[in-house]
Chain A
Amino acid sequence: MSLLEVDALDVHYGAIHALHKVSLAVEEGEIVTLIGSNGAGKSTTLRALSGMVQSSGGTIVYGGRSIVGLRSDEIVRLGLAHAPEGRGIFGSLTVRENLELGAFSRRDGKVRSDLERMFERFPILQERAQQSAGTLSGGEQQMLAVARALMARPKLLLLDEPSLGLAPKIVQKIFAIVAEINRDGVTILLVEQNAHLALSVAHRAYVLETGEVKMAGSASELAASDEVRKAYLGVG
């Protein structure tokens, strides 16, 4: 059974039908990416999975149980963390406080050692630990968003547009970290506008268009398909 199975998911924002019967699956250990243009419903899909928006139809089964209707804080506790669009950094709190909040629901005694591990992986965050998170650069904030989500010790990490607004060099770095996290055993569902980059790191991909899944397949298949190359990779 897949770690995450989404079937015929519908989301409405008022009168706007944002997702039409979206179905997808994520297997344990994979990096799966959702690509598509602005407004295709990528972020909405992640928001529905983490309980930030309520779905109006369909099922979401995570780890063998339905999580439709659960609150965000209940979903995190099941091991599904979400680094949201726009990073959602608490700017007036310090970097360390942001990280500690990522582990809010954990009751085990290993939060402190995990914090040390994050500081090893992201040395810049250790340097800035006592600074307000709002003073970090965009790239540093993105690292903080990822590190904070990892503090929940997730089995599945939802990552929304980690490349947004960042310089290419920093984007490379963040994607290297994404691959590294995945090798450590975290399953990742990645939303990305930069399809080229997303397909280079992912195992499988779904193409979303106006709230519907248009194509699905392995990352290499999709990267080679004419349609994807034309529409999303700027080739042809």
Chain B
Amino acid sequence: MQVDDTPTQERLQARFDRMVADEVRIEPRDWMPEGYRRTLIRQIAQHAHSEIIGMQPEGNWITRAPSLRRKAILMAKVQDEAGHGLYLYSAAETLGVDREELLDLLHSGKQKYSSIFNYPTLTWADMGAIGWLVDGAAIMNQVPLCRCSYGPYGRAMVRICKEESFHQRQGFEILHTLSHGTPAQKAMAQDAVDRFWWPSLMMFGPPDSASTHSERSMAWGIKRFSNDELRQRFVDMTVPQAEALGLTLPDPDLRWDEESGHYAFGEIDWSELDRVIRGDGPCNAQRIERRRTAHEEGAWVRESAAAYARKHAATSSAAGETAA
């Protein structure tokens, strides 16, 4: 009888590698390398935090939306984002952390969220620019995640991407209405696009030459395309849409490059992304403070609900015993 004396760890690793190579989904109960688990927790949590913090720049206009129809759409959109945050926290929980823990890491600044949400929404047109550019960039990043090797994350992304594509269309529609409206409305739309264009390109992360986690994530089937590939696809998709809107993109170097079959674009100011990630963006402090305040001011509500649930559970189990 042949005894397999390969150390267990190695056999598990080999099985995991085979599953990833064969594109078989890894599920919560499967063995996975610690680094894979940690990478996923970090990425899914950051994604969930981005949905939750991302509610703020748009929530900023709910009470001021210029028509009742727009108010209803915006409210529904912000609600979708809260829902995305919840799916994603649940996906992270399958990896052995809990939401409360992740929220503490967000509130203490130990985990990040997308830097794009550290920019202020100064006019109504920013609701259009966020939908069109920010959600557009998010979709570009997220569609490949539907095929992520980790099952719960991939499945959450399928649902999220469907809603995001609706969000992007509504953003485009806001800008289309504005750019075909009064001169003041068109100027408002152009200003919003001017402010959100470069930060949107930064959403794909640092250039491939400087991306620290990319290679390993690719090997693990978490990431499918490099930051620069996705950024290029986004530019290629967006430039014709800007033309359809009758708006310009604030990049004098932007041009069609016949040879590569892509749009060439100007140098991104990476020092700005570094600065905003470090906390020196216009709204970093404000966003976290709002989140923390909501959480702290709600503590008594959550505590009372928990006390009620305990009391109620005690009562119903006592009643159950009596009945038995």
Indicate, yes or no, whether A interacts with B.
Answer: no
List chain A positions with a Cβ less than 8 A from chain B.
none
